[in-house]
Amino acid sequence: MLPRYIVFTVLLVFYHSSQAALPELEFSLHKNGKAKTGPTMLLIGGIQGDEPGGFTAASLLVTHYRITSGQVWVVPNLNFESIIRRSRGVYGDMNRKFSRLKQTDPEFETIQKIKQIITSKDVDIILNLHDGSGFYNERYIDRQHNPNRWGQSLIIDQERINGQYGNLGEIGKNIVNKVNRVIRQPLHRYRLKNTHTALGDKEMEKTLTYFAINHAKPAFGVEASKNFLTRRRAYFHLHVVEAFMEQIGIGYERKFSLTEAGIKKAMYDKLQLAFYNNKVLLDVANARKRLNYVPFKKNADIHYFSGNPLVAVISSNDRFNVRYGNRNLTYLKPSYFEYDDSLTNLKMSVDGQPKYVRLGSIVDVNSHFKVHRLQGYRVNVIGFTKKGVRDESNHDIKLENIRHRYSVDKQARIFRVEIYQGKRYCGMILVRFNSMERTT
């Protein structure tokens, strides 16, 4: 399914002279929903790179929600380079760059771009998702629960501003009450924290939310506690985001159950990565630590796409590291080829049924498959060998005929079928053996 709301994703092509260059890591904006059908919420994740609860929740709004009335604009990866490098801020704290900033700051352009989005006339309300330490409490209870902690709080800079949704304190109280109905553990409940920024909080004056309210945009900071695992932080964040959507009348459908298990599943259910317009397709959700001989394009810059806004490829010596948010998915060791574009699909027999399969797609197999011979081309099923056979077409191949360690995934179910014309690479198909092998 093609998400119709994606406006732009990470810049994918980047040219450089000698060595294959990668695109720069820039944030993406995803517009989910239709304009003029209701209010527009701007949701921001990852202003600090080491707060995965916030950016995971924001990213799920892109990949696993459908907005049925109103709009949610999502920037799930504001500080993308720091997210990918698992740093709070590779160039310092980005959330202190919203009042004054030198033009020479490496993040100057990023800040200008996000300020433009924040002040866009379409945006009605803004949430900035964070993971904070401990548990905020108005009173000192212990080291983890006191006024200097941030976790499990909803933050406002002041009680009110002018305009629609300007009653920040009142809205905040409603949200906190609503979310707390599903939180049984009293110490995990949300609290409203007013930083009274305008009364002289020099640090908070430099933040995104304070910039927003000074441009007449209602804005809230949302903090989940860093004491929890990522999926539980995302669980709390999503409760808060949904409470806001309900409060201001944004309609939504969620495509997973809002539980920690449901979040974990959703985080990994669509993690594909394609290079050079699907010439190379990998399912990286559960990839092996290293994938070797990945057929990259000779003398060309690296061009990739993932439907998930937290996936990126960075170079690492002679290899490439596939990252997902703060996590490492796999390393790719490329082999370089000239590419050939003469084929778009292959004729295969899958469990005895003949069919045409598009290059750059995944085909599900229950017991066996065969690629039909094609004059002038050579098929290579990675991990399958038969003595004296160079072209592996016209062989019925079962899971047990392929060496497991050549699989893409750790479970040894997904294998690469590559096709070549002479020395030129034409494309690949992923064959995925189902876990229920033979039911009869």
Residues binding Zn ion (CB under 5 A): 48, 51, 130
Rounded least distance, CB 433 to Zn ion, Å: 43
Rounded least distance, CB 51 to Zn ion, Å: 5
Rounded least distance, CB 172 to Zn ion, Å: 18
At a CB cut-off of 8 Å and minimum separation 6, what does 163 contact?
216, 218
Rounded least distance, CB 237 to Zn ion, Å: 12
Report the residue number, 51 or 418, with the smaller CB distance to Zn ion.
51
Count the Cβ atoms, other than its own, within 10 Å of residue 139. Answer: 7
Report the residue number, 64 or 130, with the smaller CB distance to Zn ion.
130
Report the residue number, 232 or 432, with the smaller CB distance to Zn ion.
232
Stated length of the chain: 440
Q: Is 329:408 a contact under the CB 8 Å cutoff?
A: no
Report the residue number, 155 or 408, with the smaller CB distance to Zn ion.
155
Report the residue number, 130 or 279, with the smaller CB distance to Zn ion.
130
- Torsion 205-208-213-218 (CA) sign: negative
Rounded least distance, CB 130 to Zn ion, Å: 3
Task: End-to-end CA distance of the chain: give it in Å, rounded.
Answer: 33
Rounded least distance, CB 128 to Zn ion, Å: 8
Return d(Cα 353, Cα 259) in angstroms, integer: 40
Report the residue number, 9 or 195, with the smaller CB distance to Zn ion.
195
Rounded least distance, CB 94 to Zn ion, Å: 9
| DSSP letters spanning 171-222 | HHHHHHHHHHTT--SGGGS-EEEE--GGGT-TTGGGSHHHHHHTTT--EEEE
> Which tokens sit at 301?
């810059």
Rounded least distance, CB 281 to Zn ion, Å: 35
Return d(Cα 142, Cα 290) in angstroms, integer: 45
- Which residue has its beta carbon closest to Zn ion? 130
- Of all helices (H) and strands (E), which one includes residue 65? strand 65-69
Rounded least distance, CB 145 to Zn ion, Å: 19
Q: What are the CA-CA distances from residue 420 to residues 54, 280, 294, 298, 428 (Å)? A: 44, 13, 13, 14, 9
Q: Strand pairing of 414-421 and 424-433?
A: antiparallel
Report the residue number, 51 or 107, with the smaller CB distance to Zn ion.
51
3-state secondary structure of 38: coil
Report the residue number, 133 or 144, with the smaller CB distance to Zn ion.
133
For 381-412, letters b (16+ CB in 10 Å) and e give: bbbbeeeeeeebbebebebeebeeebbbbeeb
Report the residue number, 223 or 242, with the smaller CB distance to Zn ion.
223
